[in-house]
Structure 1
Amino acid sequence: MTNTKVHTPAPVDLEGDLTALRGDCARMVPHWAAPERAAARPVSPSLIHGVDVPPASARMLDAMSDYGD
């Protein structure tokens, strides 16, 4: 069984809606800092490497019908 008692100084709205969520987010905005947007640069193909998958993981995925069939 889950204990639904919450000990917090602010009331908790467990049945909140999108409007309440947007209000909560708006109040938190001053606490968040957005990083400066960096321009995307192309990556040299010589820096792109394949993915190494351990043999045991490859066998496991091969045995899963969603992936191997």
Structure 2
Amino acid sequence: MKRLTDFLESQSFGLCSALGQRWGFSTRSIRLSFVYASFFTFGSPIVLYFAGVFWMNVQRAMRQQRSTVWDL
């Protein structure tokens, strides 16, 4: 079961694990919160999820593009 979860997390966007590491919550509880909130609010957290994924990818791209003084 752990290998399946790791595979799915590596193939998906990884937003829940990034939020879990940053806030100190388990990844599973964050995923369940997104699922339950989606059921109760008719899918609006999905929009927030994709906005978070977009922001996370923008930050990752900005970190990769930064050059240091030592780069020529």
Q: TM-score, normalised by structure 1?
A: 0.23
- Bigger radius of gyration, 1 or 2? 1
Q: Would you tell me which structure has more helix in proportion to its own residues?
A: 2
Question: TM-score by structure 2 length?
Answer: 0.23
